[in-house]
Amino acid sequence: MDVAVSGASGLIGSALRASLEADGHQVVPLLRPGRPGRGIAWDPEHGTIDASGLESIDAVVHLAGEGVAAGPWTHRHRTAVLRSRVDGTRLLAGALAGLDLPPSVLVSGSAIGYYGSRGDEPLPEDAGPGHDFLARVCIAWEAATAVAEDAGIRTVHVRTGMVLAPRGGALGPQRPLFRAGLGAKAGRGTQWVSWIHLDDEVGAIRHAITRADVAGAVNLAAPHPVTNAAFARAFAASLGRRARLTIPRLATAVPFGVGQLVDSLLFASQRVAPDVLEQTGYRFEHPELAEALAHV
């Protein structure tokens, strides 16, 4: 199987590439200008892509986008987050729709931010969207694949939760603090955290590629979300520490977009259910948090 991947050098993309290549599949990365290596040239900022390189590709996985937590949520950064997802997705979907031999499936990135902050409400794939910035980004991001769907390409929107990985990811910036005994819950810690181990992130994407009955929104989150307080305790315990501190909600009042970023990442509550994955036979390698943290 030949699989084209955008964002192939990122946390998820590099793990997906390694997994596919280990099983004998060929991964063809989409490469921006100036990036070394062999692949399909594309430049989302200028709206160009070498569509001929996509002919006869079996599947496309689209993961590229500006990092949400790459900086404070200034107007400039928020614009970059939105445009990098919508413009790149629209460009790629349009190129696929115009092919003589299009892929059978497009797996396009999204996030559980689609749902907004919803308290204790269970959130399967058919739950409605939220209204905050990240929800609006995800709505527009998913809508940008429409031309590929209209062309008959099976399209999957993988709504990813907090990814747990040995290096980088959501745990990267927190690990030194927790290791130093400075682990903390956010506020009361009652908000829900929906997480997924990197192995299952990759496994679920591969499941979406190969299962013809998987289409539309798919929640990529483990079947057992936990509260923020429980996550802090488990993460600290995995490092032989305790999480005794509390991050006050006052932290969200910091100006220049920092407060909005903190509020979205630490205080949003999303109790996500991976109904589609479970109903189509996906078996999680790491369904329980304590074991997943021990593994990473």
What pLDDT does 10 receive?
A: 94
pLDDT top residue among 205 and 173: 205
Lowest mean pLDDT among 22-31, 32-41, 266-275: 32-41
What mean pLDDT is predicted for residues 7-32? 97
Structure tokens at 193: 């955290």
Q: H-type helices in the chain, by residue range?
A: 11-22, 75-97, 133-143, 146-150, 175-179, 198-210, 228-238, 258-262, 275-279, 289-295
pLDDT top residue among 263 and 30: 30
Tens digit of each residue's pLDDT (9 = 90 or more) over 45-93: 999 999 999 999 999 999 998 888 777 778 888 899 999 999 999 999 9
Collapse the DSSP code of 157 into the 3-class scheme (helix H, G, I; strand E, B; otherwise coil) and give the result.
strand
What pLDDT does 252 receive?
A: 53
Tens digit of each residue's pLDDT (9 = 90 or more) over 239-275: 999 999 999 886 555 554 555 677 778 899 999 999 9
Query: Under a CB-based contact definition with an 8 Å cutoff, are residues 109 and 65 in contact?
Result: yes
Q: Residue 58 and residue 262: Cα distance in Å, rounded?
A: 40
Percent of the chain with pLDDT over 90: 85
Taking every pair of C-alpha atoms in the chain, what is the biggest distance, in angstroms?
Answer: 59
Tens digit of each residue's pLDDT (9 = 90 or more) over 137-180: 999 999 999 999 999 999 999 999 999 999 988 899 899 999 99
Instruction: Sketch the domain layout of the chain as residue ranges.
Output: 2-295
- The pTM for the full model equals 0.95
Summary count for the chain: helices (H), strands (E): 10, 16
Tens digit of each residue's pLDDT (9 = 90 or more) over 224-237: 999 999 999 999 99
Of 3.30.70.100, 2.30.30.30, 3.40.50.720, 3.40.50.2300, the CATH number of 2-295 is 3.40.50.720
- C-alpha triplet 198, 20, 158: angle, nearest 5°: 50
Collapse the DSSP code of 114 into the 3-class scheme (helix H, G, I; strand E, B; otherwise coil) and give the result.
helix
Q: Residue 272 and residue 24: Cα distance in Å, rounded?
A: 33
